[in-house]
Amino acid sequence: MFGVESRDDRQRVGIGMFVASLAVVGCVLFADAVRHLDVDAIHERWLALALFTVLVIATEVRPITIVRAGGVDQIVASTTFSFAVFLAFGPAMAMLAQVLASLVGDLAERKPFTRTVFNISQYLVGWGSAGIVYHLVLGSTATASADTVLTVRWTAATVVAALTYFVVNKSLVGAVVALSTSSRVRAGIRETVLSEAGSDLLLLALAPAVLVVADRSLLILPLLLLPVFAVYRSAAISAEKEHQALYDSLTDLPNRLSFMSMLEARIARRDAASSPAAVLLIDLDRFKEVNDTLGHLAGDELLRHIGPRLAAALPASASIARIGGDEFAVLLPDAAGDLEAIAAAVAIGDSLVEPFRIGDFNLEVDASVGIAMFPSHGTTSEVLLKHADVAMYVAKGCNGRVELYDPEQDRHSTRRLGLLSELRTALGDGQVVLYYQPKLDLRTGVVHEVEALVRWIHPEHGLIPPSEFVPMAEHTGLIRPLTSHVLRLAVAQARLWRDNGFDLAVSVNLSARSLHDSSIAEEVQKCLTQAGLPSTALHLEITESSIMADPARAKRVLEELHRAGLHMSIDDFGTGYSSLAYLQDLPVGEIKIDRSFVMNLLDNDADQVIVRSTIELARNLGLTSTAEGVESQDVLDWLIDARCDHAQGYHIARPMASDAVAPWMAARHALGVRHVAQRYETSSGLEAGNDSREHVEVLARVVQLFPPAHTRRRVQ
């Protein structure tokens, strides 16, 4: 709005005023130093001055860069030779040599004008302040001579001058970094002074030795480059270790420790209480499948591409970190509010839409993003990250992309952590059981198959639905023992029913992780053999999205299961993309139409087109069709008229415990099935002779016009 300055504008004005004031002070100190310039000393030892100046410039243009949470700083070995000029020729010449070197270095790196002015000014103020103190202690404005060097008074003046330069110089650096990050100035100064005391003081301590050697012979002066280089190398190694401690070695992004430090610095900012910020936690969906399918090298390469994508989608002030595995974190230090944070999260999701080219593959990546706002959702770094994690898990669990933290979610988070620790024990204690939902054959009215649905009967929480604990199992490595448990229970129950005269097949859902497990076919066959059942007794259901996560590998596993004689279905058909063209190459025998298209199809023309086209598509490809989510007789009649093969839903039967299946079957048989069979026989349905390719194209167009609900962004 007109007349209102943004915080960034005020920050730039503040830094500009600080640098301008510093430049004025520096010029005043330089003018004072020029008044005491010893021209005779310069004339007599001009070669030494020229050599020192060359060394100052040479070492200034090769700094050691240190990246910290609060900003970027540099260590330069020019300090040694600048101080030698200071001691031999006075502060004015040290200022000139340092200013010349700083100009050369900044121009070579094309640093901003304000940064260049600050660098020059800090050297002028640093050496000017050191000169005043040096002359006060020495009691003279004359430059050092053979008679005064190494005396007690000269040594004291040298030490005090070195300390003055170091403290003033680093205080100015710490102050401008604090101003640029809106941090506390005192904390910024303290961090800078303490972190660089070792290297800078050691470089300053070498200057008297340089001076003494130069007095003896300039020819042996290059030998002093060795200890200077040693200090320089030591500082470089220290900086490298610090970088390794704060940055992820794979992506070169800040790591968790560094991110927490940045977040704490933001919380400690002077205007923290009145200025909101946002923490975004990002988890890549199905990343483990990339590792399992293409190998860890491909997974690592994918992770290296994530940072640049995120950086391109976020404002320049955002900080991006990899905090572990496939999790990334973003700090928006100046988010105006919830809507701005949500917009940034949506931009993150959009930035990942374009496939990543990894080797010979184009990999599609989705992400779930959780948002926590400072200070409304927490005032400490630990709490903010925890709440962002809670929100991210909610986003992942509801198939959304973005979720803003809600305090009510904490109850579920605590419950989730508790359940996670109990799930493995529950598998062994018989708490994880199967319920069964009959699947009605619409052609005959007979039930030949039931679907096994996993449930957790918790001693305290009662019946826990699979939507609450199966995602936990998938993300913690428990999905394999859970799948094995479900297979054993389903096959054992099928055996028991057969022994009691009910020839029922049981269908079991396989997760995406199970589908990409190369040993799943062997495990299924082992369960059937131990139970003494034929392969026709067990049917397997695989979701469309799990197939398309890695079609090539999924096809190999499905073909292996098919060779073992197992019947397979594509579950939740219509909720994913790209499988239509791939469908005819998969060894599956059935399509299960997702309930989202069936439940309201009588009120939605688009759903009717999709369901009818899917039924005809299945028929023309030689597959059977099953409609899920049938909740009324009218919907059932519509499906019969459309010549759908099977149906499931609450109108037919709710999921039931194993001991309720036999009584239900008996009651069902007593009611008779003639109505279903006769209606199916007389239904006109769709003409069976239509070309399958035409129906593929129709269905593809409908899906494009009416995208599945789960692909729409869920933003609260």
Q: What is the mean pLDDT of residues 351-366?
A: 83
**Cα dist. 40→121, 145, 239, 441, 465 in Å?**
27, 12, 42, 110, 92
The confidence score (pLDDT) of residue 586 equals: 81
Domain(s) labelled CATH 1.10.1760.20 in the chain stretch across 7-246
Instruction: Tell whether the model's pLDDT for residue 701 goes beyond 50.
Output: no
pLDDT of 474 over the 80 cut: no
Q: Mark 142-171 as b/e (b = at least 16 C-beta within 10 Å).
A: ebbeeeebeeeebeebbebbbebbbbbbbb
Q: What is the mean pLDDT of the chain?
A: 80
Across the range 567-574, mean pLDDT stands at: 82
Write down the pLDDT at residue 68.
47
- Cα-Cα-Cα-Cα dihedral sign, residues 665, 666, 672, 677: positive
**403-414 confidence digits (pLDDT tens):** 999 887 665 556
Q: Which pLDDT belongs to residue 689?
A: 38
pLDDT > 70: percent of the chain: 78
**Domain boundaries 421-707, corresponding CATH code:** 3.20.20.450
Which residues contact residue 555 at a Cβ distance below 8 angstroms, ignoring those fewer than 6 apart?
Answer: 585, 586, 587
Looking at the predicted structure, is the pLDDT value of residue 190 above 50?
A: yes
Instruction: Tell me which long-range contacts 672-675 makes (C-beta under 8 A, separation of at least 24).
Output: 672/445, 673/444, 673/445, 673/446, 674/445, 675/445
What average pLDDT score do residues 660-687 get?
A: 63
Strand runs labelled E in 624-713: 624-627, 646-647, 656-657
Confidence check: pLDDT of 172 > 80: yes
Mean pLDDT, range 52-75, rounded to an integer: 66
Per the CB < 8 A criterion, the answer to whether 156 and 137 are in contact is: yes
Q: Would you state the pLDDT for residue 208?
A: 83
* Helices 152-180 and 7-35: angle between axes, nearest 10 degrees: 160
Q: CATH 3.30.70.270 region(s) of the chain?
A: 256-410
Angle between helices 78-89 and 46-60 (to 10 degrees): 160
Please tell me the predicted confidence (pLDDT) of residue 532: 93
Band of the pLDDT at 124, cuts 50, 70, 90?
very high
**pTM for the model:** 0.49
What is the tens place of the pLDDT at every residue in 191-216? 788 877 877 887 888 888 777 777 77
**More confidently predicted of 227 and 685:** 227
For residue 175, the one-letter residue type is A
Structure tokens at 100: 């010349």
Amino acid symbol at 233: R
The yes-or-no verdict on residue 704 having pLDDT over 50 is: no
- What's the rounded mean pLDDT across residues 71-98? 81
Q: Which residues pair with 373 in a beta bridge?
A: 278
Determine the pLDDT at residue 654: 93
pLDDT at 516 over 80: no
Provide mean pLDDT across the span 226-245: 69
- Note the pLDDT of residue 140: 72
For 277-298, what is each residue's pLDDT tens digit? 999 999 988 777 677 667 778 8
Q: How far apart are CA 489 and CA 284, in angstroms?
A: 33
pLDDT score of 667 more than 70? yes
Pick the CATH number of 256-410 from 3.30.70.1170, 3.30.465.10, 3.40.120.10, 3.30.70.270: 3.30.70.270
Q: Which is higher by pLDDT, 244 or 1? A: 244
Q: Tell me: pLDDT of 2 over 50.
A: no
Asked whether the predicted pLDDT for residue 9 surpasses 90, the reply is no
What is the pLDDT confidence band of residue 141, given thresholds at 50, 70 and 90?
A: low
State in words which class domain 7-246 has: mainly alpha
The pLDDT assigned to 269 comes to 77
Residues pairing with 646 in the sheet: 441, 626
Mean pLDDT of 82-90: 88
pLDDT of residue 332: 93
Distance separating alpha carbons of residues 172 and 157, to the nearest angstrom: 22
Residue 603 in this model has a pLDDT that exceeds 60: yes
